[in-house]
Chains A and B, each alone.
Chain A
């Protein structure tokens, strides 16, 4: 069964460092998403991406965040200068037709900023 794959599963980084979280969406999907979940809190939408551009982003997704689809298979989330409060689980998701269709989630990357 096709699945969304995220790497790494866990990343520890120093405050101020740049991190790149990687996702391989399901191959025929066109819509891609990043969400985050701070420990003990609910999952929050960060950004959606379609046709090689951001289609929507939340207030959380400020200038320190960026997304990219560098090739036909990967979808990345970059955090330029990490802060302690960026520590969270980051989930990638993809769907084939976007709005109102089922999204499939990766297993998440646990980011710890120290």
Chain B
């Protein structure tokens, strides 16, 4: 069973700050998703990555497969970035349920 740990659980920061959210998992994976969930509940896929680093606008995601760790960074944070950010590793084939395993999420609040 893949144990997924995210940190911090809650983060409040000021607008403009650089934000880092961390995710650790326990089993080998084929890929990892970073998802964003807004207060209304809808889930949006931000990144899917299996190695290295990806950048999209002010968001950067990195993954170290050997260390079983991924980070999500937000540069120049803005109040509209306030949401829950969820890490969801995707297990390798044969690793059990082929759906995503989800972290508990990091609740981010960016204050103006």
- Give A4 Cβ to nearest chain B Cβ, in Å: 10
Q: A56-B96, A110-B41 are in contact. List 7 more A-B contacts (CB 8 A).
A: A33-B100, A99-B92, A99-B98, A103-B45, A106-B42, A107-B42, A108-B43
Interface set, chain A 26-85, CB cutoff 8 A to B: 33, 35, 37, 41-48, 55-58
Q: Cβ of A18 < 8 Å from any Cβ of B?
A: no
Q: Does A100 contact B (CB under 8 A)?
A: yes
Which B residues are closer than 8 A to A by beta carbons? 30-31, 33, 35, 40-45, 48, 50, 86, 88, 90-93, 96-105
Let me know if A108 and B31 touch, CB within 8 A: no
Give the total of A residues in contact with B, Cβ under 8 Å: 29
Give the interface SS of chain A, mostly helix, strand, loop or mixed.
strand
> For residue B98, which residues in chain A have a CB less than 8 angstroms away from its CB?
48, 55-56, 98-99
- List the B residue with the shortest CB-CB distance to A43: B102
Chain B interface helix/strand/loop/mixed: loop
**Docked-complex contact A45 and B99, CB < 8 angstroms:** yes
Chain B residues, Cβ within 8 Å of A45: 97, 99-102
A89: Cβ under 8 A from any B Cβ: yes
Point out residues on A near B: beta carbons under 8 Å: 33, 35, 37, 41-48, 55-58, 89, 91, 98-108, 110
User: Would you call B97 and A100 a contact (CB within 8 A)?
Assistant: no
